[in-house]
Amino acid sequence: MPVLTELDKRGIDLDTVRCPLCDDDVETIDHSMIFCRHSMEIWERVYKWWGLGSVTNLSVNEAFQGKCNRTLSFVGSQIWQALEWTCGYLIWKNRNRKVLSNSSWNGLGGLMEIQLLSFDWISSRCKHKNIDWLQWISNPLLYCID
């Protein structure tokens, strides 16, 4: 991913390699996708939505492997992974929106966008279960356990 530290390693002249969202640390892949306070806000809201507790010691590799801290069915693991990729996509999209047009970050709106986009992606691809919008936003684990 073209985070600032990776661009700097490739010799691209940058004013700074600090995170353009929070300015708290250098922008690495782990920082941008997980540890930036704005990204972490999204992950924490998603974990709370799924009843998974708090996000701790998560890395990019762990976040996008499709593993949840609950026992899920095979289809459930696929649904969780689709949700993780949706989170990553929207975190990166919002990061780029901030960098390119200086728009603000909206964590609550981010969660709603994740719920909607993941519902669209999963319900259109999941052949095993008929996913209902109201159940999806109130109890997504319903679709992940046999």
pLDDT at 107 over 70: no
> What are the tens digits of pLDDT across the range 48-58?
998 887 776 66
CA distances from 141 to 42, 49, 82, 121, 146 (A): 18, 10, 13, 16, 10
pLDDT at 24 over 80: yes
Higher-confidence residue of 52 and 90: namely 90
pLDDT at 29 over 80: yes
pLDDT at 138 over 90: yes
Spatial CB neighbours of 77, under 8 Å, sequence gap ≥ 6:
66, 67, 68, 144
pLDDT for the residue 60: 76
